[in-house]
Homo-oligomer: A and B are copies of this chain.
């Protein structure tokens, strides 16, 4: 396992073996393990649990640092908060840490519903939890949140998908393709047979540059938000923030997540009928796009939200765009906390 994914950097986290996981595209992951971090205490009725799945490239660490805290909506004094790392992120089972049989490029294709099934097993069998107060996550975490609400409608009392959609758009599929190709086009990637991430640094740098273009917003750079974050100009921002952020991540891990991201689609539960899928949702749902998100746009989120019964659209205002998810805009994070506190009131 690469040192980047160590407990020193991303922990503490526990590894929970959930046994065999049958996969949507066929095959099975034997002795599948999920890396989780928990905060607060599960009450005796097991009725105060909140689940937080992670986004592309993210781990439990950023969710703890940016989203959880005493007095905040996600308050460990009130709730038992489980942050679950998505499969492929380098902490839960992933190309970089899987047993030899499915290591690296031999890792199977995973879908969002596989993550949700794995998490469902974790909650039922490991924690004996039968219902969640809330599922909340950003980006691919939102994709998992929607999948939870459709696949296990009685399990989810409340849902807060942030900056993500229930069915990925064609436009977003192609954006993700460009991210994938930035990596795979590096000759050093060698169809996944590289020895370490450093070898694929040129591909990872192109990947970071694409994230710079689509991850924030045109307005973010015009308003010199990158300068107010401490960087001289956009080139300094790329060289000393965007590239270092991604450079130590394992390419096969990123590609495993990208594949899932592209194909996120709750209508796989209803034979391709998106409306039927969204109508299955029982959770009180706040759909929360970020105003300046360039790929999970407000319009795309609104189009789905309208079909979810007990839902409201709560736009988070920030020129930081999609990567405002990092918590860079304190005002947006305050707005998010207000919405989440409101959502968590008695139903």
Contact = CB atoms under 8 A, between A and B. Distances in A.
A62 interface: no
A186 B186 CA distance: 9
Interface string A210-252: 1011101011111000000000011000100000000000000
How many identical chains are in the complex? 2
Interface string A157-196: 0000000000001111111011001000111000000000
A297 interface: yes
Contacts of A303: 222
A156 to B, nearest CB: 26
Contact of A210 (B173, B178, B187, B300): B178
Nearest to A299: B219
A109 interface: no
Contacts of A187: 187
How many A residues touch the partner, as a band? 35 or more
Describe A's contact surface by its main secondary structure: helix
B171 A222 contact: yes
A218 B300 contact: yes
Contacts of A219: 297, 299
Contacts of A172: 218
B169 A222 contact: yes
A234 B174 contact: yes
A206 interface: yes
A121 interface: no
Contacts of A185: 185-186, 202, 206
Contacts of A174: 209, 212-213, 234, 238
Given A185-B185, A187-B187, A213-B178, A171 B206 contact: no
A295 interface: yes
A171 B209 contact: no
Interface of A: 169-175, 177-178, 181, 185-187, 202, 206, 209-210, 212-214, 216, 218-222, 233-234, 238, 294-295, 297, 299-300, 303
